[in-house]
Amino acid sequence: MNLSVEEIDRVIEMAWEDRTTFEAIEFQFGLKEQDVIELMRNEMKPSSFKMWRKRVQGRKTKHEKLRTFEKGRFKCSRQKQITHNSISKR
């Protein structure tokens, strides 16, 4: 597991996101769920890691097989407004 600082930050960010599955992290970075858990344990304060584990355990959205929808992906109702923002066109 030779990840850059930026990649580690991104994995942590994705692991905290409710709708990002462990399978998506594995696809993008090659880290299995147990690898993500180890990375989180090593990179976070113990209290933050415990909070994350409590939050993630049993969460259906973190595993593709447990999700209730089959097609598509979640899209925030504000996403269109954000992507057509004048600031992003610089």
Distance CA 87, CA 80 (A): 14
> Is residue 81 predicted with pLDDT exceeding 80?
no
Position 48 pLDDT exceeds 80: yes
* Angle between helix 22-29 and 33-43 (nearest 10): 90
- In 3-state terms, the chain is what percent helix, strand and coil (to 5)? 60, 0, 40
pTM over 0.75: no
Q: For residue 86, what are its two tokens?
A: 């004048």
What pLDDT band is residue 21 in, cutting at 50, 70 and 90? Answer: confident
User: Whole-angstrom Cα distance, residue 24 to residue 34?
Assistant: 14
Residue 37 has pLDDT above 60, yes or no: yes
Among the listed residues 34, 41, 30, 23, the one whose alpha carbon sits nearest the alpha carbon of residue 7: 30
The letter for the amino acid at 69 is F
